[in-house]
Structure 1
Amino acid sequence: MANIDHLALLTWGNHKWMDWRNRNSEIAPDLSEANLREFNLKGINFVGVNLFRADLSQAKLIDADLKEANLSLANLSLAELNNASLIATNLTGANLQKSDLSGADLSLANLIGADMSGANLRGADLENANLIGTVMMQVDLTGSHLNNGNFTQANLHAAELVEVCLYRADLQKANLSNAHLNGAYLFRANLSFADLSGADLRWSNLSKVNLTGANLMGANLRGANLAGANFTNVNLAEATMPDGTINITS
């Protein structure tokens, strides 16, 4: 449960909270399980704060500093986290459905098992983030940076990944069916056993990519760079090849 004194400070307003934090930097605030639904926390200093199971749904956290905070199992659905700093933040099992994380820095964040369905992540930084098993259906990751991210078994069905950077990202067994990856940079990414059926990969860079056992049935690869890619046991049935022809065999 949240520390009553810490919660009271927050309810007195952001300025009071910020002043207290500046004077007591050695204290790690405890706001676990706090009800902060719809709170205006724009620009708040939540560095290292314990927000385990906190309800931050529909909260305004624009430009907030949440570095290394504990947000595991927190409810952040519909929260406004535009340009927030979530570097190395613990978000395991968190609910981020339909949240706005555009421009947010989630590098090194732990998002294992989180639900980000329908979230706006345009221009976000997820480099070196851990997203094993994360639900990311229909998220908008247009123009985001995902280099070296771990997306093993993540669900990215129908996600917007236009022109994203996925250099050396681990996407093995990920669900990317019907995802939009046109113009994406996937150099040396691991897509082994991934589901890319119906995915739009036009003009993407798939050079040196590991596609062992991947399902590319009905995918669009027109103009894609496949130099040095591993196509062992790949299903290319009905896929549109780089030259525009339709593959009629698997």
Structure 2
Amino acid sequence: MAHTAMSGSGTTAGDDPLQTAVWRLRSRGCWTDAAALLAPHAADPAPALQRASLLVERCLFTAKGWAEAEDALRVAEATAREDGERGAAACERGHLAYASTVLHVRDRADEARAALSRAAALIHPSAQGRALLDFRRGLFAEHVADSPQSARAAYRRAHAAATAHEETLLLSFTWRHLAGLALREGELAEARHGFGESLRIREELGYLVGTAPALAALADAEPEPEATRLRAEAGRLFRLLGGVPTWLADQLTPPTPV
């Protein structure tokens, strides 16, 4: 599914108490609370960008909070001083426009395309932020431009870069979306492996809000009765988190037999 993409690349930064607190809130879907912790530091580029990314992520998971995300993005854009920071802010803007498009809130495909292209011009190919950008360009290619071949190439670049930079959470997304393409092509073994790796990483990181989607995705590649068991587990977690992500509800219903 298009809607599983996330801002950010994953785990806490060392033993930084602020980052640890932000991660714990983010991983449980408490994006507004996590962003509030960063608000006092938002005059600086890195916290401003991180705050924006949290609120963009909230939009993708809940289809709410668009105005707050836009405001945070404008702050991040205003505080960016270097090309890499400007590119990262453009990447977030592209992701927000992508989210609005795939969630059918408002068609912002042209804005997403332009922002992601701007980010590609500003973020050096070897920079750490390139992995996230390539992943998001893959999402756009697959779910907006309907170009699975381009998407696969972008996901693979992102996967390699995330591996090199040890961006563990992002790897869970590249595994999942590569697996999704494999499933579309009937490559069940490859799909199961990718979905399984995605789920394993999220469970190991304690990324609770992303675990139900990972369970549901794996269910799509498994035979019965395992598929039903996985969907039931995903449903319990989905309800525990108050129905987040909102778009997951449809995936928790087993396909109708033909």
- Structure ID, larger Rg: 1
TM-score, normalized by the shorter chain, greater than 0.5? no
TM-score range for the pair, normalised by the shorter chain length = under 0.3
Higher RCO structure (Cα 8 Å, ≥6 apart): 2
TM-score for both structures, normalised by structure 2: 0.23
User: What's the TM-score once normalised by structure 1's chain length?
Assistant: 0.24
More helix by share: 2
